[in-house]
Amino acid sequence: MRVPGDKSISHRSLILGAMAVGETRISGLLEGEDVLRTAAAMAALGAQVERTGEGAWQVHGRGVGGWAEPETVLDFGNSGTGVRLAMGAVATTPITCTFVGDASLSRRPMGRVLDPLRLFGTEAMGREGGRLPITLRGARNPGPVTYASPVASAQVKSAILLAGLAAPGRTTVIEREATRDHTERMLRAFGATVTTESHEDGIAVSVTGDAELKAAAIAVPADPSSAAFPLAAALLAAESAVTVTGVLMNPTRAGLYQTLQEMGADLTIANARDEGGEPVADLTARSSALKGIEVPPERAPSMIDEYPILAAIAAIAEGRTVMRGLKELRVKESDRIAAMARGLAACGVKVTELEDGLIVEGRGPGGVPGGATIATEMDHRIAMSFLCLGLGAQREITVDDSAFIATSFPGFSDLMTGLGAGLVRTNR
């Protein structure tokens, strides 16, 4: 089977295509709600954005600094990636934009992006704590910025690099630890000059401004975060095996699969290859007897979105699984640390909630009682994680809202049902 295209790369392909000169052709685009919001925002900013087939899109760009002032607000729904990257993309163009989102996104902090963007001369006004709605007025005479990021966030890094494209000179982001490098890879594909160097405080990533991006062809690989759910289902359910093809295996995204192998998962990685500048492979997972481990905290950036499903997998492992370094999960679509802790406890799993992580006491194969209704808190990954856990629990697990799954994994229910999962809609 194949899962939808990678969400991170899908967002970036639309944004950079809209900032390039010429026609960018995209194949394999994730057509979930989050990405479609980004496509609509790029059109509102003046780019020509057209769907030409399933997962196939064309973007006629405006060029760096060529945005048109939108006639209405830019509504990003539930998409934190889309809104933060778009803020960076427009921050150094002298236009005014208002960014809005749904109730979940409006609770998430934007100050971590707005603070460095103000260094370019950008003006931003929003609710207390830097929350949406936010009106941003782009810098008229931006200068290059050097910024040491206090958080390990690819979104923050990417927003600064995108803003730096329209500023003269060299804009640099210094990270204490490496985060996802999709923006750097794709900027190079569009013709930008990007460097990554060692720095006394970590890693320095720089982009040369006054750039002219040239249109490119982008093939979006399968999303490793989405692939985690059917692969986890195969690990959780008895006598099962699932192969997912063409999965993105960028080292900054593959931490979950290394962790699963350390837990004893029967996980095979085959047909490794390069597609569109990114490493991909075919992954096969089979029912496995897993053991609890302590996950190295420094691995967190490479699997930050996969900790909810890892916590579910840990529940059916033998022994204790310790996950630390996850403070970033407190400010995702929900407080994912708290949501997973409450949900696992409701399913009969002993769990300790830490300030920056979780300790899950695994009950072994078939040992999770289940029988709970989980409050998903408008979070797609919480919903999918507990639906997968239900496959290995003694009694059914119900989620209170599955609507938000479509933001990242359209067709999840049909795909899982096609594999044999007993997903049933209920009015409870």
Tokens of 318: 């033998």
Tokens of 283: 């992954």
Q: Supply φ then ψ for residue 208, to 5 degrees.
A: -90, 125
Q: What is the pTM of this model?
A: 0.89
Calpha distance 404→415 (Å, rounded): 16
What's the confidence (pLDDT) of residue 136? 98
Residues annotated as catalytic are 305
Residues 404-422, mean pLDDT to the nearest whole number: 93
Tokens of 143: 């200068």
Triad 308, 271, 313: Cα angle to 5°: 20
Q: Which domains does the chain have, with CATH numbers?
A: 7-205 (3.65.10.10), 225-418 (3.65.10.10)
Of 121, 160, 116, 166, whose CA–CA distance to 139 is shortest?
A: 121
Beta-bridge partner residues of 137: 96, 123
What's the confidence (pLDDT) of residue 427? 65
Residues 210-244 have pLDDT tens digits of 999 999 999 999 999 999 999 999 999 989 999 99
Look up residue 280 and give its amino acid: V
Residues 154-197 have pLDDT tens digits of 999 999 999 999 999 999 999 998 899 999 999 999 999 999 99
Tokens of 140: 């008229």
Residues 289-300, mean pLDDT to the nearest whole number: 96
Beta-bridge partner residues of 171: 207
Of 123, 157, 156, whose CA–CA distance to 140 is shortest?
A: 123
Q: Hunting for tokens 């803003």 — which residue is that? A: 163
Q: Supply φ then ψ for residue 5, to 5 degrees.
A: -65, 160
**Inter-CA distances, 136 with 80, 126, 129, 375, Å:** 16, 9, 15, 34
Q: Hunting for tokens 């990636």 — which residue is that? A: 81
Classify residue 292 by its DSSP letter: -
Task: Please answer whether residues 90 and 138 qualify as being in contact, where contact means their C-beta atoms are separated by less than 8 angstroms.
Answer: yes
Strand residues in 332-395 grouped as ranges (E): 350-354, 357-363, 373-374
3-class SS at 96? strand
3-class SS at 212? coil
How are beta strands 318-323 and 146-148 bridged, if at all? Answer: unpaired
On the 0-12 / 13-18 / 19+ scale of CB atoms within 10 A, 427 is exposed
Buried b (16+ CB within 10 A) or exposed e, 160-183: bbbbbbbbeeebbbbbeebbbbbb
pLDDT-based confidence at residue 109 (cuts at 50, 70, 90):
confident
Tell me what the pLDDT averaged over the chain comes to: 96
Residues 102-107, mean pLDDT to the nearest whole number: 92
What's the confidence (pLDDT) of residue 66? 98
Q: Is the pLDDT of residue 361 over 80?
A: yes
Tokens of 424: 């049933």
Q: Is the pLDDT of residue 428 over 70?
A: no
